[in-house]
Structure 1
Amino acid sequence: MMEQRIIIEMGMGNDLHGMDYQKAAARAIEDAIRHSTLPIFQSIDMDHSEMRVQVTVGVQEPDKIDPEALKSGLPRGRAEVSVVAGGLNIPNPETGDTAVVATASVEAFLPSQTGKWVQS
């Protein structure tokens, strides 16, 4: 089935003292979706389950992320989460802390709407 991307949002999240990559990644996803709404579902009477959501998270240590756990933060659609090398670690030599920064993109895809809409 052909799909069309209807939205892409980007976000950033961090954990300043715990070096918790999972927490930073969840915050990045939340940041990305916090500024979005998809009223299209009510407008065309489409169920949210028809939407595929592709999330990509970037952190310095991807193996410290549980992609399945991140799906629970997504309110709609059939989610897929992939983790890649990215983000940023910021060491503080005075305290030994490392701030962890994660980045995320959240893309939403719907089945092709070609020919289903009529301009009036």
Structure 2
Amino acid sequence: MTEQRIILEMGTGNDLYGEDYTKAACRAVQDALHHSSLVLFKSLGIDHREMRVQVTIGVQQPERVDVDVVTAELPRGRAEVNIVHGGLNVHDPDNDTAHVIATAAIAALLPIDPAQWRLNKMARPDRPMG
């Protein structure tokens, strides 16, 4: 049985006044999570604990993100959070501060036995559905 990515969602989050990288990262995770609904767990009777969740957060100062706080934002699956250099800081020279913008990519993976699934021949890009 091999693990297959079943979804990939992206999100952004920011902290405009506190230069809080963890807060921006958490907001990016929440933004990504609000773009998806994984109904297949209930529909197919799959235990969500079988899902591995890979999270990559990009910020300008990765060392300032509390990984445990970000991990706690994930409601399902076994989370792996990786903080990397990315995102964006927008300097405010009038107030000598930075607006922190974080980006998040969340991938959900499930162990899937390819022998249990087959592609519907009608589900091809060159054939319209319906």
Query: 2:41 is matched with which residue?
Result: 41
Q: CA deviation at 1:17?
A: 0.5
Root-mean-square deviation over aligned CA pairs:
1.2
Deviations 1:40-90 (A, max 9, x none): 111211100000000000000000011122111001100000000001111
Greater Rg over alpha carbons, structure: 2
Contact 2:2 2:113 in 1 (8 A): no
With structure 2 as the length reference, what TM-score do the two structures score?
0.87
With structure 1 as the length reference, what TM-score do the two structures score?
0.94
Within 5 Å, give how 1:23-34 maps onto structure 2: 23-34=23-34
Q: Structure 1 runs of 4+ off > 3 angstroms? A: none
Query: 1:3 is matched with which residue?
Result: 3
Give the length in aligned residue pairs.
Answer: 119
Secondary structure (helix, strand or coil) at the match of 2:72 reads: helix
Q: Distance in 1 between matches of 2:71 and 2:35?
A: 18
Percent identity between the aligned chains? 54
- Any unmatched runs of 5+ in structure 2? 121-130
- Any unmatched runs of 5+ in structure 1? none
Secondary structure (helix, strand or coil) at the match of 1:73 reads: coil
Q: Distance in 1 between matches of 2:4 and 2:55?
A: 16
